Amino acid sequence: MNIRRAEAKDLLNILRCNLHNLPENYPMRFWTYSTLTWPEISFLAEDDDRKVVGYVLCSIEREEKFPYQWVGHINSLSVLRPYRRMGLARQLMDMAKDAMIRGTTVIEYIQLHVRKSNRAALSLYRDKLGYEHHRLETKYYGDGEDAYSMRLPVTHMKHPQTWVAVIYYHVTHNTRQLARRTVSRLRRRKLVL
Ligand SMILES: CC(C)(COP(=O)(O)OP(=O)(O)OC[C@H]1O[C@@H](n2cnc3c(N)ncnc32)[C@H](O)[C@@H]1OP(=O)(O)O)[C@@H](O)C(=O)NCCC(=O)NCCS
């Protein structure tokens, strides 16, 4: 068994593995986007015949509420049935986490969604990998099933780059607000158009 980084050329084989395992299948352009934009954080496991038997596909996106922060996303994880319970998913997830933490983009946490009924994945994320329940998202999946949104806090998040970004955001945000208020005051006094 060989575990290595997933590349754009592996996508068709990854897709084959995904179709076997999961009802959620992203469009090809999404897979291509993530592997080309973040080539160092997605991984696959292949057998001796180079058949893809498991993969984890990740990306890094802006935080919803705080767009100056970044968040790692586990977009899809699966292992073919005959290769399960051999520790492959755990290894893939660990490698993805390490790569996201080592990368140049400072992330605050790693996020994923899991079906409420997926006991195997829940046990993996919560009991083995330390992910914490964040919130329940009702009818998250196309078939109406709810999802747990889970997060893994990343310990090195107090990186100085993050603080520079936070200060920069607040300074520019406050300056923009002040400028807007001044202009509307001047408008009210009919000093500017
Ligand atoms: C979930 C999945 C990725 C796990 O892959 P795996 O390679 O078998 O997982 P691992 O061997 O690394 O198992 C690690 C831990 O996960 C948990 N786990 C895995 N399979 C489990 C099962 N069938 N029942 C309960 N717990 C299970 C256990 O805690 C296990 O640790 P243990 O073996 O020490 O008990 C795999 O079952 C799969 O591909 N399922 C279908 C796709 C899917 O659900 N993906 C996740 C979408 S969010």
Pair (37, 124) in one structural domain? yes
Residue 77 alpha carbon to ligand 1 centre in Å: 10
Residue 5 alpha carbon to ligand 1 centre in Å: 20
Q: Please give the Cα distance from 148 to 140 (Å, whole number).
A: 9
Summarize pLDDT for 83-132 with one digit per residue, the tens: 999 999 999 999 999 999 988 888 999 999 999 999 999 999 999 999 99
Counting DSSP H helices and E strands in the chain, the numbers are 5, 7
Instruction: State if residue 82 touches ligand 1 by the CB under 6 angstroms criterion.
Output: no
Q: Predicted confidence band at 162 (pLDDT cuts at 50, 70, 90)? A: low
pTM: 0.82
Contact 75, 15 (CB under 8 A): no
Residue 4 alpha carbon to ligand 1 centre in Å: 19
Average pLDDT over residues 35-60: 93
Pair (179, 145) in one structural domain? no
Instruction: State if residue 39 touches ligand 1 by the CB under 6 angstroms criterion.
Output: no
Residue 184: which domain range?
158-192
Pair (10, 85) in one structural domain? yes
Pair (61, 93) in one structural domain? yes
Pair (118, 134) in one structural domain? yes
Secondary structure element (H or E) that encloses residue 15, with its range? helix 11-21
Pair (105, 179) in one structural domain? no
Looking at this protein, which amino acid is placed at residue 149? S
Lowest mean pLDDT among 108-112, 152-156, 166-170: 166-170
Q: In what order do the strands lie in the sheet with 132-137?
A: 2-5, 43-46, 52-62, 70-79, 107-115, 147-153, 132-137
Average pLDDT over residues 52-60: 94
